[in-house]
Amino acid sequence: MGRHLLLPGLLLSLPLTVGWTTSNCLVTEGSQLRLVSYLSLCLDSSLSLLAACYSVTNLTQTLEAVPQNVDRFCLGGPASVLTPDAFFHLPDLKVLRLNLCLTLLPGALRGLGQLQKLSFLGLPLDDLFLPPDTFGDLSSLQYLAFWGFCLNGSSAVQLPPSLWHLSINSSCLQNVGKLVDIFLDLVVGPSSGDAWTLDMLDLSDNRQLKMASPALQGLKLRTLNLAHTKMKAAVMGLGLQRLDALSVVFTDTAELPAGVVAHFELQELNLKFTQVGYISLEALASCRSLSNLILQSSRLTDLPQGFLAALPRLQRLNLSNNQLWSTMLCPNETGAVSGLWFLDLSNTGLRGLSPATFSCLPHLRKLQLQRNQLVWLEGQVFQGLRRLEVLDLGKNPLTSLGAGWLFPLPALITRNLLYTHKVLSPAWDFWGPENLHNLKLQLSSGSSGAALSLPTKLTSLELHAVPGRKLWKLASPVFPVLQNLTLNGWGLQLETPNVTKIFPALRQLSLLDNSLEALCSQDTPNLFHCLHPMLQYLRVEGNGHNPRPCCITGLPSLQELQVGRLQPPARPRQLPMLLEELVGELPRLQVLRLATGLETLSAAAFQGLGHLQVLVLDWETSLVLDGGLQAHSAQMPQHMYILRSSLACQCANAWVGPWLEWSSRTYMHIQSHQLCQSEAGGCRKKSLFTFLWSHCPKTLGLELFLGSSALLFLLISLPLLQEARNSWILYLQALFRAWLQDLRGQRSEGKRFLHDVYVSHCRQDQAWVVQELLPTLEGRLGLRLCFPERDFEPGKDVADNVAESVASSRVMLSVLCHQALHTPRCRLELHLATSLLLTATPPPPVMLLVFLEPVSRYPPRYHKLAWLLRRGDYCVWRKEDERKDDFWGWLGSRLEQAGLG
């Protein structure tokens, strides 16, 4: 992902609003995800807080740094081991995507009770072992996907009862029957014994996949995806109890799988990118159950007569990207009516449409005819399509449309006539569809002062003009409900002061391509001063040849502004393009995205942007952040994304790196890993901030400041070292003395121990030791106990007393509670016992643990100790009288095994 900067110390003290950064990670709100488009493949804008971390080398550190309330988490990097409870501090996760070469330990996904989607991505044929209870805690899991991993080593893995989607793609799976070995629940249900019901089983991209009959006996499927496989008609032999939809995209299927359709009574069939070529009526006779048929790019050249009549339930039909040339879906002699409501005939080479082409489709609501060779349309071609809502005729060489061609379409809502050759005339209008709300239209040349008649009830209008043509006037003086206007090229003759009167409800405006030539003209008022005061979204994209920057200002309600391609001709270096030249007073602006050739960013640019929260710099090269921004941090936006942009390798940017480390307001994300040339003519390069740190003399004062701060911190910390002596320093001393005693042979075979049992406890548990433990072990069993408060040699160092007493005792008995785990001497004794267990020669020393209160989990420093102890080496003290006998029985048994019976 490139370079990202961590703001230490702020992650817990500051609330997360839109963005947050840490090493190799980006965390952002879903509502702002579209501003960081390169993450769209990983993240889902429907969730609230999203995180993506790539090139992760320290998995533990990364997981600890991610905020606890993230909803979706994408994690990528080299080989990693997921330890138990790896995601325990992320209880709100709903989507988890792991792009790692993984080793999963039992319990790695424990604590993710709200997780709904889980994906594993690896290199092709990477091995992934799934313990049987891997998904045991994922009670809400609905979606489970594996890409690239080989799961052959796994068996009897339990699937969550809530699962409805299972994907295994690009794996080493060769036999469908292997799925049953891996996921036994597929054929034996999770509770009732019935087979599972899945909405989707995706086995695509398994090139060697073969059928094993009946591999999936009794399984109920909504959809089976076999894209890029060689299964084809073998589906009938799988033993499926139910199948509603089948996808065989990118297979060598050469004919309609009529037998499969008839066997399962399929409702949906996807034959996209296949070799079908021809469909016979005999095959269609077995496909009467189909409601959705996709034949896109299936090499069709013709359709049999009576095609739609043979499919009485068909509602959606996609015939795009086939060379049909002409089509006769509705033969005149039959008079049959189809229930089809979606038809895609785009890019099929159609050259003409007869009046009866759609006569049998009275229920059609969406018709796609773009990218064909249609030159003219008769006036009655759409006769009978009274329910049609969407019509797309874009990218056709249309030159003529029959008179009244829109009158048969009263329900039309959206129409696209972009990139056609239709010549508009002042007499030509759009009357007919009363509900037409969305219109996309190509403006051709018009006579001087020609008026364009458009429906006045439009809510969205997109006009594309041809450069250099004469301007059109609008016949209607007002569009009262138009909210979204896009002008690609300046094709309208608008009087700037009247813009608000013409579009009183305008909320979103996009001015694209060469439209800025009119906006920036010296002879006309600034359009932005005359726009509607309620405008909330503005996108301005120039053509890269504007004579001067346009200052966008005077829009009191504007919340988001995107400006791009405003690069003017070459300007002197002493006059770089400034943000304040482009953006003026916009008091409510929250999001600003720039791709303008900006060269310098200074504090003056934010004076009129008091509510700016997000700044995105895209395609800005050699950007200089003026040092004056340090003194105006309060005016900076809270979140800055530097995407396909770069900071200049100049000392003017030397302050940026240190400033980001202590800034309490601004978070910055730098996508690219920028390198700077170390020496003139040299080949060695350094990262941006490393280069600036080492080459810029202005950083010397900062280095001195940081050095003096470190020295001051060390002096302040000296008094604390005395307290530290009671913990790790004492542990090192005790371990060294224990090693010396072992070296001298004090633990050799036949040695006489001074004590039978060494008792470790904290002050809080002293009463229990004196009243319960000592009377039993010394009184009833006659053992010699080493009780620190009684038997430690007065005046001797604590570390010496502990090391000698532990080494001269047959058994160490540690009495634990929450307080004991935080007591320095108890921690010292536990660490020392752990080291002795690891380094001792046979016979190893015996260590027993007694818990006076439940301790749910060992702190991380005691994981190694817990791993060393056998299950029978610890017990919990119960206060109930009837349970005490069990405890003393256990303790007596373990002491007897240690030779103290």
Q: pLDDT class for 746, splitting at 50, 70, 90?
A: very low
* End-to-end Cα distance, the chain: 64
pLDDT digits (tens, 9 = 90+) for 103-146: 888 889 999 999 999 999 988 878 899 999 999 999 999 999 99
In angstroms, rounded to a whole number, what is the distance separating the alpha carbons of residues 873 and 895?
10
pLDDT digits (tens, 9 = 90+) for 51-78: 888 788 888 878 877 878 888 888 888 8
pLDDT digits (tens, 9 = 90+) for 812-868: 888 888 777 777 777 777 776 666 665 555 555 688 888 887 765 444 455 555 555
Over 60: is that where the pLDDT of 21 sits?
Answer: no
pLDDT of residue 42: 62
User: At how many degrees (to 10) do helices 798-807 and 730-743 cross?
Assistant: 40
Over 80: is that where the pLDDT of 96 sits?
Answer: yes
Mean pLDDT throughout 606-610?
A: 83
Mean pLDDT throughout 783-803?
A: 81
> CA angle, 353 as apex, 348 and 357 as ends, to 5°?
100
User: Any bridge partners for residue 210, and if so which?
Assistant: 175
Over 80: is that where the pLDDT of 681 sits?
Answer: no
Mean pLDDT throughout 682-700?
A: 68
Of the chain, the percentage scoring pLDDT greater than 70 comes to 75
**Peptide bond before 214: cis, by omega within 30 degrees of 0?**
yes
Mean pLDDT throughout 782-800?
A: 82
Over 50: is that where the pLDDT of 17 sits?
Answer: no
Mean pLDDT throughout 529-539?
A: 80
pLDDT of residue 412: 84
Between 53-57, 209-213, 877-881, the lowest mean confidence (pLDDT) is in 209-213
Contacts of 749 (CB under 8 A, 6+ apart): none
Over 80: is that where the pLDDT of 625 sits?
Answer: yes
Over 80: is that where the pLDDT of 493 sits?
Answer: no
Place of tokens 């001063």: 529
In angstroms, rounded to a whole number, what is the distance separating the alpha carbons of residues 806 and 798?
12
Over 60: is that where the pLDDT of 358 sits?
Answer: yes
pLDDT digits (tens, 9 = 90+) for 318-330: 999 999 876 778 8
In angstroms, rounded to a whole number, what is the distance separating the alpha carbons of residues 205 and 223?
16
User: Any bridge partners for residue 27, and if so which?
Assistant: 20, 51
Between 473-482, 617-626, 750-759, the lowest mean confidence (pLDDT) is in 750-759
CA distance to 217, 228, 253, 857, per residue, from 238 (Å)? 7, 18, 18, 47
Over 90: is that where the pLDDT of 199 sits?
Answer: yes
pLDDT digits (tens, 9 = 90+) for 362-417: 999 999 999 999 888 877 888 889 899 999 988 888 887 777 777 788 888 887 77
Over 60: is that where the pLDDT of 723 sits?
Answer: no
- How far is C-alpha 473 from the chain's CA centre? 47
Q: pLDDT class for 682, splitting at 50, 70, 90?
A: low
- Residue of higher predicted confidence among 424 and 204: 204
Residue 222 is encoded by which pair of tokens?
A: 């909504």
CA distance to 26, 248, 748, 830, 890, per residue, from 639 (Å)? 11, 45, 66, 47, 61
Between 245-259, 582-596, 609-623, 792-806, the lowest mean confidence (pLDDT) is in 792-806
Mean pLDDT of the chain: 78
CB-based burial, 365-400: b 16+ in 10 Å, e otherwise: bbbbbbbbebebbbebbbbbbeebbbbbbbbbebee
Over 80: is that where the pLDDT of 809 sits?
Answer: yes
In angstroms, rounded to a whole number, what is the distance separating the alpha carbons of residues 232 and 368?
30
Mean pLDDT throughout 215-219?
A: 85
